[in-house]
Amino acid sequence: MSIYLDNAATSWPKSPQVIAAMQEYLGECGGSPGRAGHGKSLTSSRMVYDTRDQLATLFNAASTDRVVFAKNATEALNMILFGFLNPGDHVVTSGMEHNAVMRPLRQLESGGVNLSIAACDGQGRLDPDSVRRLLTPKTRLILINQASNITGTIQPIAEIGALAKEAGVRFAVDAAQTAGVCPLDMQAASIDFLAFTGHKSLGGPQGTGGLALGPDVDLRPLVFGGTGSASESELQPDFLPDKLESGTLNAIGLAGLGAALADLNAYGIDKVLPHEQKLLHRFRDGLRELPAIVVYGPADPVESVGVLSLNITGIPCDEVGVHLEQQFAIFTRTGLHCAPAAHRSIGTLSKGTVRFSVSRFTTEAEIDAALAALASIARGNN
């Protein structure tokens, strides 16, 4: 029996409700949301609205129509960055960002946007004062991930949101690793833009995600085209969410995401982070007993979501990953995890790490099996 510990990449298993909702959509509905007045289209439209509304409630967004769907957090981040920044603007980000942030920012930098990167410590922590010191009169945006996909380090977004508000700067949060795990209150944390993905801790399928906008911010569309609304005009609609949702939505995926959100609410989202941190505590305690293990990120699991990176001294991380899968049927992710900036910050850019990431479905027995496997590999019994 296999053990899946790669939930930071995509969560698995999906709940039976998710699978059933997607099958029901294909088998019983099948209509295109917002593209006709017949019953199947209306049923599909109601399902999309319900999913949108659940997300607005989860994030305490300004309103349901300010939740915009995209295919993932990467697309949502591109929508924010290319739809908001102009040449001459200044943006501040952190040294723990994923390439979903760094690559579009580097592209914009080549076109005249000015970029500053706030340094993080060796555990991936960001001091809000390091962000404050980088602000200039031309700073227009601060963009920070709420938790690292390498170390799991949770950043102080409420404090950063407060300083952004005080400085008159817009604040964007990459919640790819935290939506469905950590509390997210856009209004309380002064978040103007929130990018999320559906296929990680929200429990939905791949191809779902999006962004939520604050009450007084606007974006230029990244894509133009049909929206099912204002069809008499050849100009892009100027109202949300249609303005930013050209083309037919991934209705089957959103059916699955809606079911995942309902299942998450039934489980109790407030239970997810404590469960993950309890597992991390057990994992870290066990790793202290093993030889040659180097663990990265905060020592106290209360500072992290359920992500832990490590190396075994003398064994390349990809080799460890192969041993874990082939000999112990344990699935992890090795390498640089599409986040060279983060690996640079924690000192692992030249070698990468083995990443273990848990979910609300992960058990203590699975953590114990991972510890036993690592002990075997570290002691050369492979």
User: For residues 318 and 106, what is the distance between their CA atoms, to the nearest angstrom?
Assistant: 28
CA torsion through residues 216, 222, 228, 229, sign: positive
| 23, 255 contact by CB (below 8 A) | no
Residue 354 CB-half CA count within 13 A: 25
Instruction: Give the DSSP per-residue string, 79-145.
Output: HHHHHH--TT-EEEEETT--HHHHHHHHHHHHTT-EEEEE---TT----HHHHHTT--TTEEEEEEE
Catalytic residue (one of 29, 120, 182, 338): 338
Residue 182 falls in the annotated catalytic set: no
User: For residues 93 and 95, what is the distance between their CA atoms, to the nearest angstrom?
Assistant: 7
Beta strands in the chain (DSSP E): 3-4, 67-70, 90-94, 114-118, 139-145, 170-174, 193-197, 209-213, 293-296, 307-312, 330-331, 333-335, 353-357
C-alpha closest to that of 44 among 65, 73, 22, 66: 22
Could you list the active site residues?
Answer: 338
